[in-house]
Structure 1
């Protein structure tokens, strides 16, 4: 069993790095252009490298079974929350309804999920986590986009292209092939990929902290919808999911990984998509801010539950 002190220590480290991001943003060290470049670097370079390295694990039937569980439960939770989000948030005004429905489906499974998974489960946890985020990406560029922009045919075509050609998906497919056929990378490129992948944790936490620094504190805590979305995202979804997986006797590793990624705060993509498609970006930013702030309490609880 993972030592409680070690888990809490890892959480503290992550939030210290996040605080550095807040300070860097407030003191203008991180500009809009710099923050955008960092996000691109994480999404297109360091996260794919981290995913590829995680697939260099030794092949085993049990690990393949765990990966299947991760895919199945990830698919289930995304479908259920898509349908449930429509019902729960249908009564809200349109400008708030879209970000709320989006927030119900998507957690910050990669930027915050990967560092936490690595802290608890190591490279094997990242391998299973990449299965969850593969499903996340499919829903993000199809369902997620349609929530904000509608479902025009050209949007669908562009969404399919983004699903298939984004670096995260390419890294996952390539890594899966190498895992199944036990293809091992030579030491030198493996070390290079590992070094790049190891940049993901500090880089992602700096980005999250910098994004939080842009939200006005006075406005962040207003509105019932914000609290409902946070309660759903941070507590209800992961608790119910974990309970169902225990009833179905899902292997502990798969159960832990899926629970942790489902317990992450509302995805930063909520604000990005709102900005991209002319939605209520300030409201979406508040959702991300408050859920991330409250996750300081909830993430350690779920880490202890699954450890």
Structure 2
């Protein structure tokens, strides 16, 4: 297992977060200037979820110069699944403890469980630990994508007004789900060098991050500025998501998982801001997009401070 490298300057982390947040601001301005509207947001969300994101998932495997050993892949997959299950249990308990009302519990549980692994996690890991961390992040991200489009989508359907949406197995047979399964098989088989196909998928997937961030900014523009900060409950949830959840994951797994890059990646990815595809999934499944947009905004702003603190914590304890 690879040892933990010495992190680069924290300035690099700040730069990555500020850069991403700037694109959200562009989306906000585009909606205000009428370059984007709600229908455009829905169609762009559909394009990202069904075409660009699957391309990014498959491209990350097919352009990798090196993959972990089969044993490390299974260990990383197991760690990812186990950490997600723990977060599900914690999220249920936390929303009951905070007495989150009906119509909001699903989106709060989504925000607690699903962080911005791909869009912010990858650049942050590169800034902190170097490119070797992305090998583990790509493997770790596979179960995340399986869960976000199944359990995460189910969370959001529980917040819809009136009769709850009835979901079946067909609801979750999506291009993202299929691409995740294919990526897992390719990783286990060690197939990762396909220059033309991999580069094409990577290029297609490269529109995912800016498009998703533009959609978030545009959705934020639908609300009055005073509503962007949300409620005290949202702030408590955001701080728990960014700081408490990763420390909890460290406390649970550190006695069993050797200190090293795999565990560091797991802890860091657990402390990312709310997943950008949460807003897009709200459009698709009828979830509470207003609260989701607030949670995305608040956690992304707080991440300017929380991610450097978390990086310092990880490099200190591991």
TM-score range (shorter-chain normalised) is 0.7 to 0.9
Gaps of 5+ in 2: 1-5, 159-163
Aligned in 2, Cα 1:194/1:94: closer, same or farther, shift over 3 Å? closer
Which is richer in helix? 1
Partner of 1:53 in structure 2?
A: 59
Alpha-carbon distance between aligned partners in 2 of 1:191 and 1:260, rounded to the nearest angstrom = 27
Q: Does 1:3 align with 2:38?
A: no
- Tell me the C-alpha RMSD between the 2 structures: 3.3
**CA spacing shift, 1:27–1:118, aligned 2, 3 Å:** farther
User: SS state of the match for residue 170, structure 2?
Assistant: helix
Q: In the TM superposition, what is the alpha-carbon distance from 1:136 to its structure 2 partner?
A: 2.7
What pairs up with 1:123-134 in 2 under 5 angstroms? 125-134=133-142
In structure 2, the CA distance between the partners of 1:187 and 1:85, relative to structure 1 (3 Å rule), is closer
Matching of residue 113 in structure 1 with residue 93 in structure 2: no
Q: Deviations over 1:68-94 (max 9, x none)?
A: 333222222222222222222223321
Matching of residue 239 in structure 1 with residue 250 in structure 2: no
Give the corresponding residue for 1:225: 233
Matches within 5 A, 1:1-307: 1-4=6-9, 5-56=11-62, 57-58=64-65, 62-90=68-96, 91-117=99-125, 119-120=127-128, 125-149=133-157, 155-159=167-171, 162=172, 165-183=173-191, 186-250=194-258, 252-268=260-276, 270-271=278-279, 280-303=288-311, 305=313
The 1:299–1:19 alpha-carbon spacing in structure 2 relative to 1, beyond 3 Å, is: farther
In structure 2, the residue corresponding to 1:112 is in which secondary structure? helix
Q: What SS does the corresponding residue of 1:50 show, helix, strand or coil?
A: helix
SS in 2 for 1:89: helix
Structure 1 SS opposite 2:272? coil
Residue 298 of structure 1 deviates from its aligned partner by 1.8
TM-score by length of 1: 0.79
Corresponding residue pairs, total: 301
Q: Would the alpha carbon gap of residues 303 and 208 (structure 1) be closer, same or farther in structure 2, given more than 3 Å must change? A: farther
Cα distance in 1 for partners of 2:69, 2:222 equals 41
Alpha carbons of 1:96 and 1:34: their partners in 2 closer, same or farther (altered >3 Å)? closer
- Cα distance in 1 between the residues matched to 2:289 and 2:23: 25
1:188-231 Cα shifts (integer Å, max 9, x gaps): 33332332233333333333333333333312334332122112
Unmatched runs of 5 consecutive residues or more in structure 1: none
Once residues 214 and 114 of structure 1 are traced to their aligned partners in structure 2, the CA distance between those partners, rounded to angstroms, is: 29
Distance 2:42 2:127 in 1: 26
Do the aligned residues in 2 keep the contact of 1:58 with 1:179 (CA within 8 Å)? no
SS at match of 2:100: coil
Whole-Å Cα distance in 1 between the matches of residues 229 and 218 of structure 2? Answer: 19
TM-score, normalization: structure 2?
0.77
Aligned CA distance change for structure 1 residues 216 and 8 (closer, same or farther; 3 Å): same
